[in-house]
Amino acid sequence: MTFEDGTEVVYSNLVLDGGVEKVFVHFERPGCDGFDSARCELPSYTWTDWEGRFTDEEKRSFENFLSNNAHLLYHYVANEGAKVP
């Protein structure tokens, strides 16, 4: 998925860690000095990596996106990706 500002959203395969099924969601966009990137671990919603110039407002927007779409991300992982008609 790509947001209007060029930020791309990708997700990992399902990772089993201590009996917890995790998905890592990456947000990335090109910038003047390389890439802005952020990674969030679901289901804990823990930010595990943050580089570049994403603003606090953008971070809140990503958190809102994750909150509203985590169930879909898990569904896509379980079904080997989103199917595009």
* Residue that the structure tokens 């966009």 belong to: 29
In which domain, by residue range, is 25 found? 8-78
Tell me if 2 is assigned to some domain: no
Confidence (pLDDT) at 82:
58
Q: What is the DSSP string of the chain?
A: -B-TTS-EEEE---EEETTEEEEEEEEEEEETTEEEEEEEEETTTEEEEEES---HHHHHHHHHHHHHHHHHHHHHHHTTSPPP-
Q: What is the mean pLDDT of residues 18-30?
A: 95
Q: Would residue 85 count as lying in a domain?
A: no
Indicate if the pLDDT at residue 85 is higher than 50.
no
Residue 31 placed within a domain: yes
pLDDT in tens, 42-64: 999 999 989 999 999 999 999 99
Residue 9 reports pLDDT greater than 70: yes
- Given a cut of 90, whether residue 26 has pLDDT beyond it is yes
- Report the pLDDT value the prediction gives residue 83, as an integer from 0 to 100: 54
Number of domains in the chain: 1
